[in-house]
Amino acid sequence: MSKLFFYVAFLFSFYGTIFGQFGSSGSTNPVSTGMGNTGNASSTGIYSIGINPANLMQSEDKHFEFNSIFPLPEIRVQAGTSFFTFKDLNYYFGGVDGNARYLTEKDKQDFKDLFKGGGSIFFDFGYNLLTASYKVSPEIGSFAFSIRDAGGIDMVIPEAIPDLLFTGSVLNKDYVFNQSKLQSSFMRYYSLSYAREFKEFKQTFFDKIAAGFTVKLVHGYYYSGADRFETNLKLSDRAEITGKADMVLHSAFSDNFGVKYDFDSTKNLKGSPSLFPSPAGTGLGFDIGFSALYKSNMLFSIAITDIGTVKWDKNAAEYVASANIDFNDLTDSKQLDSLSDQLKGKGRYISSFTSKLPTALRLGFAYFLDEQENPIPGRLKVNADFNQGFNNSPGNSVIGRFSFGAEWKPMDWVPYIRTGFSFGGINKFGWAFGLGFNTKALQIDIATSDMGAAFNPNTSKTVSFSCGARWQF
pLDDT for 351 equals 96
Q: Residue 15: pLDDT above 60?
A: no
- In this predicted model, what pLDDT tens digit does every residue of 153-190 receive, in sequence order? 888 888 888 887 776 656 677 888 888 888 889 999 99
Q: What is the spatial distance between Cα 415 and Cα 472, in angstroms, rounded to a whole number? A: 17
Count of CA atoms in the C-beta half-sphere (13 A) of 46: 26
> Where do the domains of the chain lie?
5-83+118-472
pLDDT for 9 equals 37
- In this predicted model, what pLDDT tens digit does every residue of 370-414 receive, in sequence order? 756 667 788 899 999 999 999 888 778 888 999 999 999 988 889
Torsions phi, psi for 397 (to 5 deg): -155, 140
Average pLDDT over residues 189-194: 97
Q: What is the spatial distance between Cα 147 and Cα 192, in angstroms, rounded to a whole number? A: 9
**Is residue 212 a contact partner of residue 196, using CB atoms and an 8 Å limit?**
yes
Pairing mode, if any, of strands 281-294 and 174-176? unpaired
Count of CA atoms in the C-beta half-sphere (13 A) of 201: 12
Region of residue 109 (phi > 0: left; psi between -120 and 50: alpha; otherwise: beta): alpha
Q: What is the spatial distance between Cα 107 and Cα 116, in angstroms, rounded to a whole number? A: 15
- In this predicted model, what pLDDT tens digit does every residue of 423-435 receive, in sequence order? 988 777 889 999 9
**Is residue 277 a contact partner of residue 299, using CB atoms and an 8 Å limit?**
no
Q: Place 311 in a pLDDT band, splitting at 50, 70 and 90.
A: very high
pLDDT for 2 equals 36
**Is residue 426 a contact partner of residue 453, using CB atoms and an 8 Å limit?**
no
CA dist 146 → 47, 50, 67, 466 (Å): 10, 10, 10, 18
- pTM reported for the whole predicted model: 0.86
**Is residue 312 a contact partner of residue 252, using CB atoms and an 8 Å limit?**
yes
Average pLDDT over residues 59-67: 90
pLDDT for 222 equals 93
pLDDT for 322 equals 82
pLDDT for 11 equals 36
pLDDT for 6 equals 37
From 3.40.50, 1.10.287, 2.40.160, 2.60.120, which CATH number describes the 5-83+118-472 domain? Answer: 2.40.160
For 351, counting Cβ atoms within 10 Å of its Cβ (0-12 exposed, 13-18 middle, 19+ buried), the class is exposed
Q: Place 101 in a pLDDT band, splitting at 50, 70 and 90.
A: confident
Q: What is the spatial distance between Cα 473 and Cα 471, in angstroms, rounded to a whole number? A: 7
Q: What is the spatial distance between Cα 187 and Cα 165, in angstroms, rounded to a whole number? A: 36
